[in-house]
Structure 1
Amino acid sequence: MKWIIASDLHGSAHYCRQLLEAWKREEAPRMLFLGDLLYHGPRNDLPEGYAPKEVIALLQERQADIFCVRGNCEAEVDQMVLPFPVLADYCLLESAGHLIYATHGHHFNEDHLPPLHPGDVLLHGHTHIPRRTLRDGVYVLNPGSVSIPKAGSWHGYMTLEDGVFTWKTLSGDVRDTLRL
């Protein structure tokens, strides 16, 4: 199954529309969102098109196809207004025989790995910087940010299909790939 993976939308309806267009273009049945859907938090400026209520409405149409982990900006009130679960600290997936531990990144990240085996994947957002590295035999991957990219990176997402991670801009330009 193909997944679209995104993180750190921070309430931008402008970039949510672009992400939904990318999702349609990718023809991925499911989305994994790595947290920070609705709010920008005190460390970030408001993203372009900041409209959390509009983001909620935009995502309702695909609510059965969205899996989300809790970011550091999610709160219980978000679960009251979103029609899909957003408060799980992590989720586990499997692809091409590799365990994927998906989380936001504010607890587990490159500097603090969860208990994983060599060849497993830690997938997280939080830093707003697309990244791939190998740490103690564990792949540490980050799709970057949909709405507030940092360190000169792009507005983007990644896909996962048949053990291949692909980093893309919101317009679909490929920036990197990794085959597990």
Structure 2
Amino acid sequence: MKLFFASDLHGSLPATEAMLALFEQSDAQTLVLLGDILNHGPRNPIPEGYNPVAVAERLNQYADSIVAVRGNCDSEVDQMLLKFPMMMDYAWVLLESGVRFFITHGHLYNAQQMPPLKNGDVLIHGHTHIPTAEPLNQMFIMNPGSVTFPRNNFPPSYAIYSEGLFQVLGLNGELIVKNSI
């Protein structure tokens, strides 16, 4: 199973278009959106090409391929525009291998505020806009960074999971981090 992870789109149409083009090229079966999909949020500037309605329309074209969770900037009004569920604070993805991915935005659960996980589980979140893929105690943590508002001098980024390997990549193709679970 190949999964494509993106977070913190914040309503930017150009960033969403770039991310969707990469999703198409990736041959991933599922696009996992880690929240903060349409709204820029009160602490962020308005992003380039801010157009939440157009972002919703574009994402809706992939509704049958999307697993999404709610971010701290997402609301029930956003859900009204989207044809896929995105109001849950977390979701589980269970791999055939038995590995469990706990998917969340990161404002409620993160490395400092861990959800109840078992050894071997993977915590996947966005929110910080800082990419990582690394072991954490007997578990693993992955953050794809942000498609729209990267931080700490990282480029806009996303992540791919395939056959036990996470790769976080910049939208321009540069490898940021890779690690096996």
TM-score by length of 2: 0.95
SS at match of 2:158: strand
- Could you tell me which amino acid in structure 2 is paired with residue 30 of structure 1? T
Q: Distance in 1 between matches of 2:99 and 2:147?
A: 26
Q: Retained in 2: the 8 A contact 1:121–1:138?
A: yes
Summarize the alignment of residues 28-177 of structure 1 with structure 2, pairs less than 5 Å apart. 28-95=28-95, 96-177=97-178
1:25 is aligned to 2:32? no
Q: Distance in 2 between matches of 1:90 and 1:60?
A: 20
Q: Distance in 2 between matches of 1:118 and 1:173?
A: 31
Q: Distance in 1 between matches of 2:47 and 2:63?
A: 23
How big is the shift at 1:178? Answer: 1.3
- Of 15-24 and 111-120, more deviation after overlay is shown by 111-120
Q: Distance in 2 between matches of 1:171 and 1:21?
A: 11
Q: Distance in 2 between matches of 1:25 and 1:71?
A: 26
Q: Retained in 1: the 8 A contact 2:68–2:85?
A: yes
Q: Distance in 2 between matches of 1:119 and 1:163?
A: 12
How big is the shift at 1:28? Answer: 1.1
Q: Retained in 2: the 8 A contact 1:93–1:99?
A: yes
Q: Distance in 2 between matches of 1:128 and 1:17?
A: 19
- Could you tell me which amino acid in structure 2 is paired with residue 108 of structure 1? Y
SS at match of 2:45: coil
RMSD (Å), alpha carbons: 1.2
Q: Distance in 1 between matches of 2:148 and 2:118?
A: 32
SS at match of 2:14: helix
SS at match of 1:73: coil
How big is the shift at 1:71? Answer: 0.4
> Alignment identity in percent?
41
How many residues were matched structurally?
A: 180
How big is the shift at 1:174? Answer: 2.0
2:8 matched residue in structure 1: 8
- Could you tell me which amino acid in structure 2 is paired with residue 20 of structure 1? L
- Could you tell me which amino acid in structure 1 is paired with residue 145 of structure 2? G
Deviations along 1:71-106, one digit per CA (max 9) or x if unpaired, are 001111111111110101111113443211010000
SS at match of 1:145: coil
